[in-house]
Chains A and B, each alone.
Chain A
Amino acid sequence: MADHLLETPLTEAAVRQLRLEDTVRINGAIFGIRDATQIRIFDEGVEPPADLRGAVCLHTAPGVRKLPGGRYEKISIGTTTSTRMDRFVPGLLERYGVRAIVGKGGLLQGSIDAMQRLGGVYLAIVGGAAALETLQIEEIEQVWWEDLMPECLWKFRVRDFGPLIVAIDSRGQSLYQQVQRQVAERIQGLG
């Protein structure tokens, strides 16, 4: 279980070195995406207006305040459940070159396979720990698709963003699946 400090954009090699239960912190820029953002990209066929090659995407819809002049001030930025947006993950990796998803709750088999094939990882953040997360986001750098508020496409500048736990690696391993298999076995004996 190693600790890593990674700079964005991420390379394939940086991602493929990560093992389950390693911890990761990120410096650089990360993108905020949620249900409506990805419905626009994948279901409505609108190309994302930002370069997502090597990107780290965070499943979030931040609480913000709009300042005079159009910039946004962060109020509370936290993480939402990833499984709801599982079906978009293979497309993010394959079509746009995304390397890491940061979320809570994990992803399903199709995404695990895509991460193995294309070189991607799922980094678990502690869900609900938004006060820390908000502090680690230095500023809201850019916002696209404001009509989807708060599910816009966001670009955040981050410093020491984490600790994130490698919960799906690029070798087809999922910590969630390992734990769920164990839970299923134990429930047989407990029920």
Chain B
Amino acid sequence: MTESGMADAIYDLVEQTGRDLYIKALKDIPADVREALASGLEAEKRDGNRTAEQVMFTILENIRTADRLDMLVCQDTGTPVFKVRIGSRLRIDVARLEAALRRSCERATREHPLRSNSVHPLTRKHTGTNTGEGIPIVKLQFVPDSDGLEIQMAPKGSGSENMSFLKMLNPAEGIQGIKRFVLECIFESGAQPCPPMIVGIGLGGTSDLAMNLAKEASTFRKVGSSNPDQEVAALERELLDKVNRTGLGPQGLGGATTALAVNIEWAHTHITQNPVAVNIQCWRGERAAATISAEGKVTFHG
């Protein structure tokens, strides 16, 4: 393929791949999430909590049904969020890439079809396409010494997204303040974000960066993964244990399985600041990813 031929073909590939990822994320629950849900069912059985067991069983039965009949797992087709990792050696027009991802959402919505959720914030008028001003959200990352392109996609569900919190704590409130705030957020969220949930926490940065980190932690991190920073990973483990000891349980009806994971992402912050952001992901933990090689080969992975 000529260089200009490849240059044009990549945007078609991005469009097709983005469309396929949107639909896949809504149908095929990631393996790490399935595993954590299955452990949750076992935990509720051990505790003899009939209601919680019933809820966990229904969740897993629903995932199997969606697999078997090629159906959407949940009716909420979410807000489309893309995270694109671009190799530094790749010659790509980022504006065209964004336009291709927008078309991918419009196509998925029309061709499947998917329910559209995108409305104007004041008039509440529907766009009908699951796109609109600022939507889809496209986050770009640049990878040194690479010529690959990776697209991660999450159709972020709204029941959990409505449970988003930010607090600019004082530095003097320290780690204790962070822990207390996270537990307060769990209490406030209650049954609404469809627990068992994935709790995403953003520490440090500025207000906007903290929220971004929380979204990365709730939506793009795998369940069962740990932050590479030892102290942060220890806080993840401690908070997961505490969140599950609240007893909120599956669907907020009581039980041992309140969270599948507590993931923390962090950045340095100003000496006078202690920002903590919390973003919740529901049990569906929806996400899908694919890489497009320099030769134009598309590979889908978890």
**What is A's interface to B at a CB cutoff of 8 Å?**
1, 21, 23, 60-65, 75-81, 83, 104-106, 124, 126-135, 150, 163, 165, 167, 175-176, 178-180, 182-184, 186-187, 190-191
How far apart are the CA atoms of A165 and B56 in the complex, in Å? Answer: 13
A7 to chain B, nearest CB (A): 22
A182 touches B254 (CB 8 A): yes
Given A63-B77, A131-B62, A176 contacting B72 (CB threshold 8 A)? no
Which of B54, B58, B76, B179 touches A191 (beta carbons < 8 Å)?
Answer: B179
Question: B192 within 8 Å of A by Cβ?
Answer: yes
Question: B271 within 8 Å of A by Cβ?
Answer: no
Q: For A65, list chain B residues within 8 Å (CB).
A: 113
Q: What 0/1 pattern do residues 186 to 203 of B give for CB contact below 8 A with A?
A: 110011101000000000
How far apart are the CA atoms of A128 and B56 in the complex, in Å? Answer: 12
Given A1-B50, A76-B115, A130 contacting B247 (CB threshold 8 A)? no
Given A106-B191, A179-B247, A179-B249, A63 contacting B115 (CB threshold 8 A)? yes
A13 to chain B, nearest CB (A): 24
Which residue from chain B places its CB closest to the CB of A180 in the assembled complex?
Answer: B190
Q: For A167, list chain B residues within 8 Å (CB).
A: 253
Which of A23, A104, A124, A130 touches B72 (beta carbons < 8 Å)?
Answer: A130
Question: B8 within 8 Å of A by Cβ?
Answer: no
A15 to chain B, nearest CB (A): 19
Q: For A76, list chain B residues within 8 Å (CB).
A: 71-72, 74-75, 115
Known: A179-B249, A180-B252. 11 other contacts (CB 8 A): A75-B72, A81-B159, A106-B190, A106-B252, A127-B251, A128-B157, A128-B194, A128-B284, A131-B72, A187-B246, A190-B245
Interface residues of A, dominant DSSP = mixed
A187 touches B62 (CB 8 A): no
A175 touches B75 (CB 8 A): no
Q: For A80, list chain B residues within 8 Å (CB).
A: 76, 159
How far apart are the CA atoms of A62 and B191 in the complex, in Å? Answer: 21
Question: B170 within 8 Å of A by Cβ?
Answer: no
Q: For A126, list chain B residues within 8 Å (CB).
A: 55, 58-59, 62, 251
Which of B159, B184, B248 touches A127 (beta carbons < 8 Å)?
Answer: B159
How far apart are the CA atoms of A12 and B203 in the complex, in Å? Answer: 52
Q: For B59, list chain A residues within 8 Å (CB).
A: 126, 128-129
A179 touches B75 (CB 8 A): no
Given A126-B59, A180-B190, A150 contacting B284 (CB threshold 8 A)? no
Question: What are 29 A-B interface contacts by the 8 Å CB criterion?
Answer: A1-B51, A60-B75, A62-B75, A81-B162, A104-B159, A106-B191, A124-B191, A126-B58, A127-B74, A127-B159, A128-B62, A128-B157, A128-B194, A128-B284, A130-B73, A131-B65, A131-B66, A132-B62, A135-B65, A163-B58, A176-B190, A179-B247, A179-B252, A180-B190, A180-B252, A187-B187, A190-B242, A190-B246, A191-B176
How far apart are the CA atoms of A80 and B251 in the complex, in Å? Answer: 12
B74 touches A184 (CB 8 A): no
B residues 44-87 near A (Cβ < 8 Å) are: 50-51, 54-55, 58-59, 61-63, 65-66, 69, 71-77
Q: For B252, list chain A residues within 8 Å (CB).
A: 105-106, 176, 179-180
Given A127-B282, A190-B245, A105 contacting B72 (CB threshold 8 A)? no
Which residue from chain A places its CB closest to the CB of B162 in the assembled complex?
Answer: A81
B residues 149-204 near A (Cβ < 8 Å) are: 157, 159, 162, 176, 179-180, 183-184, 186-187, 190-192, 194
Which residue from chain B places its CB closest to the CB of A35 in the assembled complex?
Answer: B124
Which residue from chain B places its CB closest to the CB of A149 in the assembled complex?
Answer: B126
Which residue from chain B places its CB closest to the CB of A39 in the assembled complex?
Answer: B124
Q: For A163, list chain B residues within 8 Å (CB).
A: 54, 58
B163 to chain A, nearest CB (A): 10
Question: B220 within 8 Å of A by Cβ?
Answer: no
B58 touches A124 (CB 8 A): no
Which residue from chain B places its CB closest to the CB of A190 in the assembled complex?
Answer: B242
A78 touches B74 (CB 8 A): yes
How far apart are the CA atoms of A1 and B48 in the complex, in Å? Answer: 13
Q: For B242, list chain A residues within 8 Å (CB).
A: 190
Question: B217 within 8 Å of A by Cβ?
Answer: no
How far apart are the CA atoms of A127 and B112 in the complex, in Å? Answer: 22
B38 to chain A, nearest CB (A): 15
